[in-house]
Amino acid sequence: MSSAEPMRIALLGAPNCGKTSLFNALTGGRAKVANYPGATVEYQKGMYATSDGRQLELLDLPGVYGDCGHSADERVTIDAIHGRLEGEKAPDGIAVVLDAAHIKTHLHNVLQAKNYGLPMIVVLNMMDMAARDGVEIDLVALEEEIGVPVVSSVAVRSAGRAALVELLDSWTTQIVDGKAVTPTRENRDLKILQQHARAITSRTIQATQVQSRSARIDNIILHPVLGVLILISILFVMFQAVYAWAGPAMDVISGGTDAFGALVGSHMSDGWFKSLIVGGAITGVGAVIVFLPQILILFAFILALEASGYMARAAFLVDSLMAKVGLNGRAFIPLLSSFACAIPGIMAARTIESEKDRLTTILIAPLMTCSARLPVYLIIIGAFIPAKNIGMFNQQGLVMFGLYMAGIVFALIAAFFLKKTVTSGEKPSLLLEMPSYKIPSFKSYLIGLWQRAMIFVNRAGRIILPASIVIWFLSYFPNKGGPIRESFAGMLGRVLEPVLAPIGFNLEMSIALIPAMAAREVAVSALSIVYNVDDEDGAGGILEGALAADWTMPMALAFLAWFVFAPQCLSTFAVTRRETNSWKWPFFMFGYLFVMAYVAAGLTFWVATWAGL
Amino acid sequence: MNEKTTLAALPKSVRARIIGFSADTEDQETRFREIGFAEGDIIEILHVGVFGKSPINVKLHGTSIAMRPRQAAMINIELLNESVS
């Protein structure tokens, strides 16, 4: 090993054993690779400094039970350990992380890891909770039986990591000196390994027969009636919160954007350049950044549900519903992630073992209302739906809830037909361990939230800023800020208009759909530029008024219905292309979504018109 | 002689011992074993899903694992000789 390159240690363990919390605690969250919420989708790398100042590179890998790699994400882990990942060398050592409360079930996975032939240590994580559940572990005896160093840890507390920090110091020094013990090989037969592991645990572990805390909580959470009510309540509160709690923060941001635009504008002379900066860049980016509070609230919920251990229970509760459309409960996690963005959702589908189920999940993921559609919904709802209360519920919140539900219902219908036709085959199955309930580490939680916020803001910079400038250009030229109909955007919109006119879309709506291919939320920037193109100090607030004045109720509802399917996201197309490794499936996905969007928007428009709305 | 059956036929809250697997594929048996099921382990059904008694939530040592009844039928068990409390 060259001294220039840091030593590389892989964290290996079952799903939900607390690897990522440990990783965040050791690296301080300075990870290099994007980590989407929920399961660790790809893998992340971060640096950790030992007490004597040496740098270690830690690898946080997707959770695995064995060494077979049944699903796509398990194969990433196995490949990483064997050094088969492109451009990545094999790790110099493995730290196997084990939820101490689950040691009796998973010790054979530790024995299996010895066969990788790399220096190894075992980290018994969440020791405090195991002790509370009546599990007593004789660490010295266990270390002797396994033949590699064993250390206990409470990853989320720095005092709980003291022994681990000490072991990392001495163990990695041994690796550098070539003195680290390579574990003895174990039998490769799983049945024999299990017997060996059971023999070890019977000698080293005392488990008093008490009902664990997680089991007591499950009596309520997994209750057939109460549990389902709790799940529905959580989802309902989540979506109400996105709408109701973000208001003040959004007012601050949109006020700030307005003031900033006015300030910049007052220092510039009138002309195309001022229009570009104020009317294009600032208005366009501001119209999207204003939704950051809502996206943060949504992720705050998703991350908390995942980190607390609730998500697997939700998967259990919805499994029988998913079974009716031929999917399993595991698909719930990628689908819920898709409420934030279809891209991490489609990637999280890697945890689904059955290829056919995985494909079905990928194909319906874009029907979940991603946060990029939120800006569009919010603007249209704000302009057309009165903010009065029906009973205890905000009417705008109810419409929002309805749009989310519409996405879910159509996703289930689509899954049903897909499983009957193009993705049929393979017997449905489910095998899902319920992780221990835990209160997530606040730091790890904030790191996750921060990563999400940064991805959104970067996106605003990389995609929305250039898109805003392109839209501005198309709507400003060649007639230098004249009527929109005579600009390039108007010409493009006129090409689409005849196709979209039967479903109630006007020219401005048709124009807005073009740049929305870069990202769905750009539709808002586009509308705001298209409607405010002559008003250089204008910003988000004016847009709602402009829409309310220009669109009829059926038009607004048709536009909302279109965005339930919103088939035009190019990033979704690209990730589907990559994850399915084919051109056929992304085209198929776009095709069926376009047809559904067109039919749904048309039906909405004509029914609403007929009803006299 | 203890009564032998499969996990799919085990009533809720009755303890049983795993005596083997009759999985439809080798892969399925591997998955059972990797997630932690082994001969000799004591298991018990803790929770049953909302519709059609699916899925089931099976207690195994300190953890619990969800599966469909179709898979539970592949885990062979014998009931423990003990009165149901």
Q: Which domains are assigned to chain B?
A: 4-83 (2.30.30.90)
Confidence bin at A540 (pLDDT 50/70/90):
very low
Give the chain A residue whose CA is nearest to the CA of B51.
Answer: A320
- Averaged pLDDT for residues A199-210: 86
Whole-angstrom Cα Rg for chain A: 27
8 Å CB contact between A98 and A125: yes
Structure-model confidence comparison of residues A47 and A489, the more confident one? A47
Q: What is the pLDDT of residues A431-484, one digit of tens each?
A: 899 988 888 878 888 887 887 777 767 766 777 788 778 877 887 888 776 666
- Band (pLDDT 50/70/90 cuts) for residue A38 is very low
Write out pLDDT tens, residues A211-223. Answer: 788 889 999 999 9
Asked if pLDDT for residue B85 goes beyond 50, the answer is no
**Which residues between 442 and 481 in chain A have a beta carbon less than 8 angstroms from any beta carbon of chain B?**
none
Q: Are A308 and A384 in contact (CB under 8 A)?
A: no
Q: What value of ipTM does the predicted structure carry?
A: 0.93
Residue A81 burial by Cβ neighbours in a 10 Å radius (0-12, 13-18, 19+): buried
Contact B68 A104 (CB under 8 A): no
The arithmetic mean of pLDDT across residues A174-185, rounded, is 89
Q: Assign residue B13 a region: left if phi > 0, alpha if psi is -120 to 50, beta otherwise?
A: left
pLDDT above 70 for A4: no
Residues of A in contact with B42 (CB under 8 A): none
Greater confidence, A607 or A21? A607
pLDDT of A522 > 60? The answer is yes
pLDDT, residue A34, reads 43
Nearest to A168 by CA among A114, A123, A111, A107: A123
* Contact map slice: B 11-70 vs A, CB within 8 A: 24, 27-28, 30-36, 38-41, 46-52, 54-55, 57, 59-68, 70
* pLDDT tens per residue across span A370-427: 877 877 888 888 888 887 887 777 888 888 888 988 998 999 999 999 988 888 877 7
- Which of A217-231, A257-271, A275-289, B63-77 has the lowest average pLDDT? A275-289
pLDDT at B34: 93
The answer to whether the Cβ–Cβ distance between B49 and A66 falls below 8 Å is no
Q: What type of residue sits at position A99? A: D
DSSP secondary structure string for all residues of A486-505: GSHHHHHHHHHHHHHGGGT-
Mean pLDDT score, A301-328: 87
Mean pLDDT of chain A: 84
Per-residue pLDDT at A484: 66
Tokens of A105: 């079930």
What percentage of chain B has pLDDT greater than the value 70?
Answer: 94
| Fold of the domain spanning A8-210 | Rossmann fold (3.40.50)
Answer yes or no: is pLDDT of A173 > 90.
yes
pLDDT at A536: 39
Residues forming CATH 3.40.50.300 domain(s) in chain A: 8-210
Cβ–Cβ gap B66/A432 under 8 Å: yes
Q: What is the 3-state secondary structure (H, E, C) of A242-272?
A: HHHCCHHHHHHHHHHHHHHHHHHHHCCCCCH
Output the pLDDT for position A481: 67
Mean pLDDT of A335-346: 78
Cα–Cα separations (whole angstroms), residue A446 to A43, A305, A449, A605: 19, 14, 5, 43
Contact flag A434-B66 (C-beta cutoff 8 Å): yes
CA nearest A435 in B: which residue?
A: B63
Q: How far is CA A317 from CA A231, A303, A323, A481, in A?
A: 8, 19, 11, 56
Which residue, among A452, A453, A451, A376, has the nearest Cα to A407 in the 3D structure? A376
Q: Are A522 and A516 in contact (CB under 8 A)?
A: yes
pLDDT of amino acid A533: 44
Chain A hits for B35, Cβ within 8 Å: 65, 105, 431, 433
Residue A494 corresponds to which amino acid? Answer: R
* From B34, B35, B51, residue closest to A320, measured CB to CB: B51
Interface contact flag, B61 A207, Cβ < 8 Å: yes
Chain A nearest-CA distance from B40, in A, is: 9
Cβ within 8 Å of residue A462, ≥6 positions away:
none
Confidence of residue A148 (pLDDT cuts 50, 70, 90): very high
pLDDT digits (tens, 9 = 90+) for A549-587: 889 999 999 999 999 987 767 778 877 888 888 899 999
pLDDT value, residue A541: 59
| Minimum mean pLDDT range among A156-170, A282-296, A421-435 | A282-296
The answer to whether the beta carbons of residues A333 and A539 sit under 8 Å apart is: no
Measured CA to CA, the distance from residue A313 to residue A327 in angstroms comes to: 16
Dist. CA A99–CA A52, nearest whole Å: 29
Tokens 């809830």, residue located: A401
pLDDT of A273 reads 85
At B11 the pLDDT is 93
A317 alpha carbon, distance to own chain's centre:
20
**Residue A135 in contact with residue A125, Cβ under 8 Å?**
no
Instruction: State the pLDDT confidence band at A39, using cuts at 50, 70 and 90.
Output: very low
Q: What mean pLDDT comes out for the span B28-42?
A: 93
Whether the CB-CB separation of A395 and A385 falls below 8 Å is answered with yes
